[in-house]
Amino acid sequence: MFRSAIIRDMPRLELDRSRAVEDYARAIHDLEAVGADAAVGTNALAARLNVTPASASGMVRRLETLGLVELTPYRGVRLTEEGDRVALSVIRRHRLLETFLAVRLGVPWDRVHAEAEVLEHVLSSELEAAIAKDLGEPERDPHGAPIPRPDGTLPGGETLSLAEMESQRKFVFVRIPDERPDMLRWLAERQIAPGAEMELLSREPFGGPLVVRTESGEHSIGAELAQAMRVEAQ
């Protein structure tokens, strides 16, 4: 059964600590995905979670006692199989909630992330299943991020950053990080959402903007946004 035995059915007093466990597991999962080396350093983890290295070390030791991570001296920490399950479980709840809020309740896509950050930790497995069923078992959230399936596998597909795209090429906009409301609003104002077919017309040198054509017209996309946008070449 896809559920974290540690988190579910936990007394209220334990809830704050279980939130921390889930947040840490997801942060380690995200950092593992970025780095070439699978081990995640405590400093990187602390920076990601906006806590001091000392409190990150303390929490990492707690995760080790719970069997969720393995510590490698001087290198860092990696999720165990159970740790990975906890991370994917909270990612699934987060992305299902974002989709539900956007699709069913019409919450703007730059605001669903903050709401989901809170609700993900208290969503029961029954409600999670009901939301997934109501939405038709979606594979992607409103930002285009894959929603882990109940068995922990991820719907996939290779993407590249728009910044790496060649000029004069057509592509589909697949995904944008959910943590930058300013970028999301900028895109929404121009009717650019995941699934949009686009063409890269030209790029200015020295990290300058990229000019793209979409259904809503031509747009100049700054280097930072182009780096964040994930696309699939056509």
Q: Which residues bind Zn ion (CB under 5 A)?
A: 113, 178
- In terms of CB distance, is 48 or 113 closer to Zn ion? 113
Quote the least distance from Cβ 178 to Zn ion, whole Å.
3
* Contact present, 63 and 76 (Cβ < 8 Å): no
Min separation Cβ 107 and Zn ion, Å: 12
Helix (H) or strand (E) segment spanning residue 31: helix 12-34
Considering beta carbons, is residue 113 or 203 the nearer one to Zn ion?
A: 113
Specify whether the backbone of 143 is left (phi greater than 0), alpha (psi in -120 to 50) or beta.
alpha
Q: Quick one: how far is CA 211 from the chain centroid? A: 27
Min. distance of Cβ 220 from Zn ion in angstroms? 27
Task: Give whichever of 193 and 223 is closer to Zn ion, judged by the CB atom.
Answer: 193
Sign of torsion, CA 18 19 20 23? positive
User: For residues 154 and 233, which CB has a smaller minimum distance to Zn ion in the complex?
Assistant: 154
Please check whether residue 230 is in contact with residue 144, taking contact to mean a CB–CB distance below 8 angstroms.
yes
Q: Taking the complex as a whole, how short is the minimal distance between the CB of residue 90 and Zn ion, in angstroms?
A: 11
**Smaller CB distance to Zn ion: residue 51 or 176?**
176
- Phi-psi bin for 24: left (phi > 0), alpha (psi -120 to 50), beta? alpha
In one letter, which amino acid is 118? V
How near is the Cβ of 177 to Zn ion at its closest, in Å? Answer: 8
